[in-house]
């Protein structure tokens, strides 16, 4: 993965740090496999006329053209009233691709998983996530205060459910066609089917013509991060309003503003590192602050997003390597009588795809074989606890 963990002081990070930290980062989160060059002219193609008419009739607010399958005609992705809708061209007209059931939503807005946000109720924006030309899609559903992710398969104008996740009761629940499966089996299935290659549709445009003109657009993630660090652009902190035009609802802040709050104005807390904490082959940005506080940032298209913050002594975090993947580990190790680890795995869209709790509860200064140990809500032995704990130590 080319992990780079160079701790840098603020005084030098704006020069050599960017060269060191960004080496090996590829351009953008969405591979340029759909159209290698930008479009320059509107072709005489029936499907574009059909898509334009559909978009106008539905009064969509944003559009993109994506290749869900491997034919030569892209699908139309629309954002309307905070939900995604997808259309395909059947050779004569544009038709909507229905979701597997009426209750399901392809939400563009929602809450984080509770393990990420803890007491925070921040609303986040969900980019549409798919594997180009492979027919694999992930959508985020659920009502207010809930979150459920559906992993779908697209084939000949229809979507079917392959896998599901939720975190009801602060437990990571995983399903296969409504049947509950183990977290480990779920993770294996993601890789086996190919969902580990999900990427964000990084561009949403005001009409179909603009979407067509930008089909080949990619961004340099290193440059986007550099502009943020150097004060040229802001990063999205959270979503304040669920707007039809997403960027109108984004609350953005400068690097200096984040840094001032993170360090409480004390320069000796300052620092940052580049780590591929979402396992996509690109290095993301982690800002360091007082008492171990951390802010985790990623790039989608031309925008920097705050993915995660850990700001309390009972919520201290670090990145570790476990079973050939990087994980973010939240810890509570400051209280007598307990050791608590929450281990989080992200994918290339910076979406949580697994998390578990590892804990020891005991009386006195240290634990013993007769105390209580837990892993994924199951009792384990002291030896098993120590083996797993040793596998998530920071590198």
Regarding whether 64 and 208 lie in a shared domain, the answer is yes
Tell which wins on pLDDT, 69 or 217.
69
Strand partners, 304: 235, 299
Regarding whether 337 and 365 lie in a shared domain, the answer is yes
CA distances from 203 to 13, 46, 136, 270 (A): 29, 23, 18, 33
Please, which pLDDT band fits residue 365 given cuts at 50, 70 and 90?
confident
How does DSSP classify residue 283? P
Regarding whether 97 and 168 lie in a shared domain, the answer is yes
How far apart CA 258 and CA 186 sit, in angstroms, is: 36
Tell me if 7 is assigned to some domain.
yes
Regarding whether 161 and 20 lie in a shared domain, the answer is no
Tell me if 77 is assigned to some domain.
yes
Regarding whether 299 and 238 lie in a shared domain, the answer is yes
Tell me if 32 is assigned to some domain.
no
Regarding whether 287 and 205 lie in a shared domain, the answer is no
Regarding whether 132 and 230 lie in a shared domain, the answer is no
Burial status of residue 312 (CB atoms within 10 A of its CB: 0-12, 13-18, 19 or more): middle
How far apart CA 273 and CA 284 sit, in angstroms, is: 8
Tell me if 295 is assigned to some domain.
yes
Could you say which of 213, 230, 256 is where a domain stops?
Answer: 213
Q: Which two tokens stand for residue 326?
A: 């990087």
Tell me if 341 is assigned to some domain.
yes
Burial status of residue 366 (CB atoms within 10 A of its CB: 0-12, 13-18, 19 or more): exposed
Please, which pLDDT band fits residue 5 given cuts at 50, 70 and 90?
very low
**Structural domain boundaries, residue 113:** 46-213
Regarding whether 202 and 295 lie in a shared domain, the answer is no
Regarding whether 80 and 205 lie in a shared domain, the answer is yes
Regarding whether 353 and 296 lie in a shared domain, the answer is no
Tell me if 34 is assigned to some domain.
no
Averaged pLDDT, 62-86: 95
Tell me if 36 is assigned to some domain.
no
Looking at the structure of the chain, the number of domains it has is 3
Are 344 and 355 within 8 A, CB to CB? Answer: yes
Are 239 and 125 within 8 A, CB to CB? Answer: yes
Averaged pLDDT, 57-82: 94
Could you say which of 181, 213, 245 is where a domain stops?
Answer: 213
How does pLDDT run across 238-277, given as a tens digit for each residue?
999 998 899 999 999 999 999 999 998 888 888 999 999 9
Mean pLDDT of the chain: 87
How far apart CA 27 and CA 20 sit, in angstroms, is: 16
Q: Which two tokens stand for residue 238?
A: 């959270």
Regarding whether 191 and 157 lie in a shared domain, the answer is yes
Averaged pLDDT, 356-385: 95
Could you say which of 284, 311, 338 is where a domain stops?
Answer: 311
Least confident of 73-87, 215-229, 308-322, 336-350: 308-322
Regarding whether 189 and 72 lie in a shared domain, the answer is yes
Please, which pLDDT band fits residue 378 given cuts at 50, 70 and 90?
very high
Tell which wins on pLDDT, 6 or 377.
377
Tell me if 56 is assigned to some domain.
yes
Supply the pTM of this predicted model.
Answer: 0.87
């Amino acid at each position: 993965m080319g992990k780079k963990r160079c701790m840098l002081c603020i005084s030098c990070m704006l020069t050599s740090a960017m060269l060191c930290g960004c080496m090996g980062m590829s351009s953008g989160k969405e591979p340029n496999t759909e159209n290698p060059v930008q479009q320059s002219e509107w072709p005489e193609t029936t499907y574009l006329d059909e898509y334009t008419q559909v978009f106008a009739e539905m009064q969509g607010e944003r559009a993109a053209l994506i290749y869900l399958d491997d034919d030569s005609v892209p699908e139309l992705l629309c954002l309307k009233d905070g939900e995604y809708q997808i259309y395909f061209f059947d050779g004569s007209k544009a038709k909507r691709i229905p979701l597997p059931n009426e209750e399901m939503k392809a939400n563009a807005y929602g809450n984080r998983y509770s393990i990420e946000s803890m007491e925070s109720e921040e609303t986040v924006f969900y980019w549409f996530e798919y594997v180009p030309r492979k027919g694999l899609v992930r959508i985020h559903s659920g009502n207010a205060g809930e979150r459920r992710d559906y992993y779908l398969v697209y084939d000949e104008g229809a979507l079917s459910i392959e896998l599901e996740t939720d975190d009801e009761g602060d437990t990571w629940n995983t399903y296969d066609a409504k049947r509950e499966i183990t977290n480990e089996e779920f993770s294996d299935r993601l890789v086996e089917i190919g969902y580990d290659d999900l990427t964000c549709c990084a561009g949403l445009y005001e009409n179909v013509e603009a979407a067509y003109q930008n089909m080949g657009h990619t961004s340099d993630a290193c440059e986007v991060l550099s502009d943020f660090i150097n004060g040229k652009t802001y990063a999205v902190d959270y979503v304040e309003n669920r707007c039809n035009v997403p960027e109108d609802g984004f609350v953005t802040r400068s690097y200096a503003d984040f840094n001032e709050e993170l360090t409480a104005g004390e320069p000796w807390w300052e620092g940052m590192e580049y780590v591929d904490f979402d396992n996509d082959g690109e290095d993301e940005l982690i800002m360091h602050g007082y008492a171990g506080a951390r802010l985790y940032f990623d790039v989608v298209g031309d925008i920097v997003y705050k993915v995660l913050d850990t700001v309390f002594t009972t919520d201290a975090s670090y990145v570790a390597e476990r079973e050939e993947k990087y994980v973010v580990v939240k810890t509570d190790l400051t209280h007598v009588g307990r050791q608590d680890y929450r281990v989080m795995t992200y994918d290339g869209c910076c979406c949580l795809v697994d998390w578990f709790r590892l804990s020891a509860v005991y009386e006195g200064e240290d634990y013993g074989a007769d105390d209580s140990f837990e892993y994924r809500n199951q009792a384990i032995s002291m030896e098993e606890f120590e083996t797993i704990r040793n596998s998530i130590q920071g590198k």
